[in-house]
Structure 1
Amino acid sequence: MADPRGFLKVRHREELATRSPEERIKDWFDVHAQAGLQPWTAEQAARCMDCGTPFCMTGCPLGNVIPEFNDLVRQGKWEDAYNRLSSTNNFPEVTGRICPALCEQACVLGIHQPPTMIKNDEQTIIDQAWELDIVKPLPPQHLTDMTVAIVGSGPAGLACAQQLTRAGHTVVVYERDDAIGGLMRYGIPNFKLEKELINRRQAQMEAEGTRFKTGVEIGKDITWDELKSRYDAVVVAIGSTVPRDMNIPGRELEGIHFAMEYLPDATRRVFGVAPKNDITAKDKHVVVIGGGDTGSDCLGTALRQGAKGVTVLQIMPQEPTTRPDANPWPTYARTYQKTTSMEEGGTYLYSTDSVNFESEVEGAEGKVSIPDNTAADGFVTDGNGHVTGLKIVDVAPGENGPFTRQEGTERVIPADLVLISVGFLHPDTSTLMDQLPVELDARGNVSRDHNFESSQDGVFACGDAGRGQSLVVWAIAEGRSCAEAVDRYLSRKDNSELPAPINPTDRGMTLPR
């Protein structure tokens, strides 16, 4: 480290400027007004303390060597910085934009100052590398005679594919959608992650030798057992796509959808692709149930589509603004962070539970509400009615359970469109279990051994399909580690030159190995 007093000279933390909310809700472009190299980039990177024990690295599942690339950013050595970063991270343009930055939570400087801008340094490095034409395809120096099929083109599948291709294996990635990327393509809105970032990575991977087959659904177009017979190894990277539902009265009404039925169509429309569910928030009162990242994405999307209003419900109380005592440094602490979508509008209701959906319909007794007046003549609650409201109630921590409903706080809020965003249960393994049965864990995920291998010989699982719903940084780490295991399996060797940053059983902070 050239300046050991850098963190003392520069105590403040800069952030990339964003466009005004009034401007950005009129389009689908990146919300930021700045990107890449800035006048303050070098001095911000100089704040890194180059700790003797870099706890930031323990917070990163990928094992990024953060102090090294921070100092290379400070010096403006972009090719060296890119080489250092890309040796551990296949897609820093993604993690640099949408990762919650577990590394920054573990930054030593963060104990008494705002942490180092690790996430922004990642984004700057890769943006500069593309700008300066440093990013090149890395085709293998020799080819093996081994073939691998990877099912799913999310971050786990793509990372696994790139690593195995570079190791010399012939890799084919199957994707049921019309374009690769998984949730990066159709789940995350374009204003958070522009799709050109995925397109140029695809071009690089194709130049390296990876083959992509889109519009092919394994289990229907090709059976799982047929796939296994064609390839020397199969990697299941289908994500965790079965949504968690809400079993409350009125759920059968029209106008109630899962977030992942809504968000993909919004992106499809942006790029001129025909929507699958034809859901829009235009001129509607929108209620989003679930206040996480996906709920925030629904908020920003609905505002751009011209919703009359958007209300986001979160059963948990608002997060604390400072690190709680129960989450001491360097552990990850969930603190209140205002997302860019929250800056754009909408209303967040915390400590709020959903009681039932309501719908006013015309019957023999005039207008009546479903499900409050289910004995009325002239209608049945069979899904023919359309949701018009949601009854909610305040909750507080209870003695006999996580939440207790507060008497006298029930009220109905208008809802023409309800988006359920309360997480995912497990991968959709219906056809897999019918055609190539594998063992599942207690949560319905594909069970793996210490080599990421399922109960079927030569069939591996990585990403959310194996670990459950998680973060993009964990998905990339899983893909890289799974690739190392597949390479060992194919070569019948005890060791592989590919890196393996995590074990299948890792759940928290990890040290690179």
Structure 2
Amino acid sequence: MGKPTGFLEYDREVGRNREPKERLKDYKEFHQRLPLEKQCIQGARCMDCGVPFCQAGVLFSGMVSGCPLHNLIPEWNDLVYRGKWELAYERLNKTNPFPEFTGRVCPAPCEAGCTAGLNGPAITIKENERSIIDNAFENGFVKANTPLKRTGKKVAVIGSGPSGLAVANTLNKCGHKVTVFERSDRPGGLLMYGIPNMKLDKEVILRRVHLMAEEGIKFVNNANVGDNYDAKEILDEFDAVVLATGASQPRDLQAEGRDNVNGIHFAVDFLKANTKSLLDSDHEDNNYISAKDKNVIIIGGGDTGTDCVATSLRHGCKSVVQFEIMGEPAHERTESNPWPEWPKVLKVDYGQEEFIELYGKDPREYLTTVTAVHSDKDGNLESVDTVKVEWKKGDNGRMFPAHVEGSEKNWPAELILLAMGFTGSEDYLKNAFGIESDERSNVKAGNVDFMTNVPKVFATGDARRGQSLVVTAISEGIAAGIAVDKFLRA
């Protein structure tokens, strides 16, 4: 512990976001790092407490607290304070293969469990992590580490999102020959096309993919297994197959008039098309779903809803409103939500921050649900009807959203984006391999061995457990890689 009184002497300080009106002009990353000397001071705030909840990765009240990767956080915080950046990278790299991803897009459950956060602001764990890895790349600390010996075993990983990359990285380091199949034209899965460039620059992903390729992993793009790639041929060619395709089946809107209306899109399709067009042509090809001059309705909250707000504003939308069926969270922890539980408090993310800067209010409408969709004679979206709800307990003891009489309202809309989460993994790939689904429509596989009902076929990440965090997907990918390695060596 480099500075025993650091948490008393220094205030929490994080890097600044670029000003909203400036960053709305482009799709560049909006969050900026602190200078290294200031980041060192933030490392000094770590208490090196006797029970580091920050690295526990356990569930409290059904919510994760602490890092699922069990990062050695107090150790590299101390090294940051001492300015030993290369040693800090080596320590971080022991547990997290992709800190450049988590340091940008993770909601930081580590900070939710930080002991300093019990009575004051938590340590800037996420920003310390990002500074470590960005500094490591900038100074050449990150080098390809090709296995010295190969086992002769071949593994196919289907999907190149965070879990797929993690399982591929783990198995490659074990000496197996790994091929990653990605159905899109670029690797990265959710990281590439599910998260906008202003949160995670795509060059950051490609930099890591190129490093993994240098280490011996083969990436095959435009490979949609179950469609243009035969599942049986992959089973015949490889000694093991790992499904890491994510929970990519989006939840649809159940409302009167929803069918056969032009202008309703799933958020994932909206975000993917925007990023692909941006990367392909800087939007010159116009091959994306444009929000320009449109009244945009976003249904659903969370990170995806925020990303839709921010992207719509960059398109030049006429207006945007975001409907959330839940109530507005508390502004501070309540007695029923004590530390070290995940804090269920109001979060004003970058998209809402940008909207507030432009219009002086939050775009979110809480306790609101869409009841009907209206279109013109040509089937083009014109407006939506909503009603306020209040949550009541039903006869079965479960809470349900009851409509509030007299709260009906009509909203003009030419574009609806559905950001209501996902219902499970897509069926066509499971059918191609003959894989069973669980009761939640995910791939049915073991919690420890990650095996499916089909011999030598495994599943990991959101495809197996349902929609979750990037850091959880990475953690599960590592665990699945260890399980597959054990299977191959048996």
- Once superposed, what is the RMSD of the aligned Cα atoms? 1.4
Q: Deviations over 1:36-68 (max 9, x none)?
A: 644421111111100111111111110101100
Q: 1:354 aligns with which of 370, 387, 404?
A: 370
Conservation of the 8 A alpha-carbon contact between 2:2 and 2:82: no
Conservation of the 8 A alpha-carbon contact between 2:273 and 2:287: yes
Q: Deviations over 1:122-178 (max 9, x none)?
A: 100001101111000111011111000000000000011111111111000000100
Q: 1:389 aligns with which of 383, 386, 390?
A: 383
Q: Is 2:350 the counterpart of 1:340?
A: yes
Aligned with 1:266: secondary structure?
helix
Conservation of the 8 A alpha-carbon contact between 2:430 and 2:436: no
Aligned AA for 2:461? G
Matches within 5 A, 1:102-251: 102-251=109-258
Aligned AA for 1:13? R
Aligned with 1:403: secondary structure?
strand
Q: Structure 1's 36 and 486: CA in aligned 2 closer, same or farther, altered over 3 A?
A: farther
Conservation of the 8 A alpha-carbon contact between 1:224 and 1:432: no
Q: 1:78 aligns with which of 82, 85, 88?
A: 85
Aligned AA for 1:293? D
Conservation of the 8 A alpha-carbon contact between 1:36 and 1:127: no
Conservation of the 8 A alpha-carbon contact between 1:175 and 1:213: yes
Could you list the runs of 5+ residues in structure 2 that have no partner in the other structure?
57-65, 356-361
- In the alignment, what sits opposite 2:483? 485
- In the alignment, what sits opposite 1:465? 463
Identity of aligned residues (%): 44
Aligned AA for 1:397? W
Q: Is 2:278 the counterpart of 1:280?
A: no
- In the alignment, what sits opposite 2:426? 428
Q: Deviations over 1:331-373 (max 9, x none)?
A: 2122111111111116211111111111243xxxxxxxxxxxx
Rg comparison, structure with higher value: 1
Could you list the runs of 5+ residues in structure 1 that have no partner in the other structure?
362-383, 493-513
With 219-228 and 417-426 compared, the bigger mean Cα shift is at 219-228
Conservation of the 8 A alpha-carbon contact between 1:261 and 1:277: no
CA distance in 2, matches of 1:7, 1:431: 51
Q: 1:446 aligns with which of 443, 447, 460?
A: 443
With 276-285 and 404-413 compared, the bigger mean Cα shift is at 276-285
Aligned with 2:381: secondary structure?
coil
Q: Deviations over 1:386-445 (max 9, x none)?
A: 111111111112242422211111011111000011000001132432x32122211011
Aligned with 2:207: secondary structure?
helix
Aligned with 1:149: secondary structure?
strand
Higher helix share: 2
Conservation of the 8 A alpha-carbon contact between 2:109 and 2:342: yes
CA distance in 1, matches of 2:162, 2:117: 29
CA distance in 2, matches of 1:399, 1:222: 49
- In the alignment, what sits opposite 1:30? 29
CA distance in 1, matches of 2:429, 2:437: 14
CA distance in 2, matches of 1:189, 1:324: 32
Matches within 5 A, 1:394-405: 394-400=388-394, 401-405=399-403
Q: Deviations over 1:282-309 (max 9, x none)?
A: 1101000001110000000000011011
Conservation of the 8 A alpha-carbon contact between 1:265 and 1:276: no
Aligned AA for 1:461? A
Q: Deviations over 1:40-98 (max 9, x none)?
A: 21111111100111111111110101100110111111111101101111110110111
Cα displacement (A) at 1:277: 7.1
Aligned AA for 1:29? K
TM-score normalised over the length of structure 2: 0.93
Aligned AA for 1:147? K
